[in-house]
Structure 1
Amino acid sequence: MLKQDKHIHTPFCPHGSQDALQDYVEKAIKSGFTEISFTEHAPLPPGFVDPTPEQDSGMKLELLEDYFHAISTIKHQYQNDITILCGLEVDFIEGFEQQTKDFLTTYGSQLDDAILSVHFLRHKNTYTCIDFSAEVFSQFALEVGSYQAVYDLYYATVEKSILTDLGPYRPKRIGHPTLVHKFQLSFEETIDDTKQIEHILRLMKTHEWELDVNSAGLSKPDCLEPYPPYEMITFAKSLGVPLVFGSDAHTVKGLHQNFERIKEKL
């Protein structure tokens, strides 16, 4: 099996670390990986106000060309040692579909890879970053009526991300499609969303999306499972959805985290 890690953040992430690109690459080579993809959080769409306290969910637009240059440089430096892709993790934000399509139309030709993810949910024309903290998640559940309502809204938004026309440079992969599980152990309620996840995976197959098999949730104390959970990775594989491992690393230490625990599913 080829060892690939195709969800990796960089020093350009405003909520990540300043670990050097070279250190990520050196670790990947040492760990026997043949291909990695840097997928930094894309700039958020114009007009969207980041609801997180530090407003640091995406890189600044003025840094984008510097990011492209930095990835191009490291690709050239290690071209004989490992395949490095230049990518972005693009947010799907309901109500900002056209701005996102315009962004991809402008910059998509410079990308080798891209992930489409849902972090923000809209309710009554305000937005919440549902993976920011357990406290924010629980407060949002109160606002929308229940934890089940958060799950329902999340999967409805992921479905829209799959079905929306984002143009010829739409991302290839749906990122961590069960991110709503991040704080599942922090509240005393068990929600069975199996049918909803299966529906999402069938849509991904129909519309030819790859699945970000994201190991980060295994390291989250209120989650303790990958995104999506193991049985849903197996289900996606049975459908023929392409599975792509991603550590979602924001530090060198987090690079390839839990790969060994997941690789048999791949």
Structure 2
Amino acid sequence: MKLRDGHIHSPYCPHGSKDSFTRYIERAIELGYDEISFMEHAPLPKSFTDPTPDKDSGMKMDHLEQYFYDLSDLKKAYKKDLAIQTGLEVDFIKGFETETASFLTEYGKELDDSILSVHFLLKDGIYDCMDFSHQVFKRMITRYGSSDSIHEAYYQTVLDSIMADLGSFKPKRIGHITLARKFQLKYPFAKSHSHLIDAILKAVQETGSELDYNGAGAVKPYCREVYPSEDIVAKAVHMGIPLVYGSDAHQADDLNQGREQLILPSDLS
């Protein structure tokens, strides 16, 4: 089976390691990968205030052209050994759909691959980076009323992202749809939220989208499962929804993480 990692970050990630592109690429070749997609966090909308302490959730806009240039050179240098795709992980932020669509219209032609993800949730005019830390999640529980309420808000926002009109360059792959479970062992949820998860899967199917089969959750100490979990993956496969493994690596040593937890590898990209 062709080995593909569709979700890798890079030295341009302001909250990741400074491992070079070459370090990531050589590691992928060492592991036997045939194709990888660099999916750096896209610059956030200019008018959006990043709620994280260091305001480092996305790459700087003035680094974007150099990111594209570097990858263009690397594709040529490694074309005999590895297929390298230029990608971005684009944040869906409620209230910033117009700015996101404009960004994609301007830069989408530079992309071979892309992911649409939810990290920020909006409640009462306040944005939180839901997966930033368990401390942030705990504070959100106080504001939202329960862990389940955060999960519900997250799944609803993911559903909104799938249905949003972001133009012709809208990413076709939806990122880590169960990211709300990142702290599940510390802050358990009581409900299945299956009605929203099923609605997400239906929307993914109807829009011809794909799912990011994300290994990062498997190594998170309060999660210990890939995003999405086995039961959801089984439903997705039954519905004919394509899944693309992504390590979500933020350093070269993260490549291949969580892959041993994947199910039905013969049905995966």
Q: Same fold (TM over 0.5)?
A: yes
How far apart in 1 are the matches of 2:110 and 2:189?
44
Contact persistence 2:147–2:188 (CA under 8 A):
no
How far apart in 2 are the matches of 1:33 and 1:231?
27
- How far does the alpha carbon of each residue in 1:26-46 deviate from its partner, in whole angstroms, 9 at most, with x for none? 111121111000000000011
Distance 1:46 1:235, change over 3 A: same
TM-score (norm 1): 0.97
How far apart in 2 are the matches of 1:228 and 1:195?
15
Please state how far the C-alpha of 1:172 moved relative to its aligned partner.
Answer: 1.5
Unaligned runs of 5+ in 1: none
Matches within 5 A, 1:219-258: 219-258=219-258
Is 2:188 aligned against 1:177?
no
- How far does the alpha carbon of each residue in 1:189-213 deviate from its partner, in whole angstroms, 9 at most, with x for none? 4332233222211110011110000
1:61 equivalent in structure 2: 61
TM-score (norm 2): 0.96
Distance 1:80 1:263, change over 3 A: farther
Distance 1:188 1:176, change over 3 A: closer
Contact persistence 2:226–2:258 (CA under 8 A):
no
Deviates more, 1:107-116 or 1:142-151: 142-151
- How far does the alpha carbon of each residue in 1:67-121 deviate from its partner, in whole angstroms, 9 at most, with x for none? 1011111111101111100000000000000000000000000000100000000
How far apart in 2 are the matches of 1:231 and 1:113?
27
Deviates more, 1:62-71 or 1:142-151: 142-151
3-state SS of 1:85 partner? strand
Deviates more, 1:128-137 or 1:195-204: 195-204
Contact persistence 2:104–2:167 (CA under 8 A):
yes
2:165 equivalent in structure 1: 165
Deviates more, 1:198-207 or 1:37-46: 198-207
1:121 equivalent in structure 2: 121
How far apart in 2 are the matches of 1:191 and 1:263?
24
How far apart in 2 are the matches of 1:76 and 1:263?
34
Please state how far the C-alpha of 1:263 moved relative to its aligned partner.
Answer: 5.5
Distance 1:211 1:189, change over 3 A: closer
Contact persistence 2:34–2:83 (CA under 8 A):
yes
RMSD between aligned alpha carbons? 1.1
| Number of corresponding residues | 266
How far apart in 2 are the matches of 1:28 and 1:6?
12
How far apart in 2 are the matches of 1:134 and 1:177?
18
How far apart in 2 are the matches of 1:199 and 1:102?
27
Q: Which amino acid letter does the alignment assign opposite residue 192 of structure 1?
A: S
3-state SS of 1:53 partner? coil
- How far does the alpha carbon of each residue in 1:45-79 deviate from its partner, in whole angstroms, 9 at most, with x for none? 11100000010000000000011011111111101
Q: Percent identity?
A: 49
3-state SS of 1:114 partner? strand
Q: Which amino acid letter does the alignment assign opposite residue 164 of structure 1?
A: A
Please state how far the C-alpha of 1:188 moved relative to its aligned partner.
Answer: 4.8
2:9 equivalent in structure 1: 9
3-state SS of 2:62 partner? helix
Please state how far the C-alpha of 1:135 moved relative to its aligned partner.
Answer: 1.2
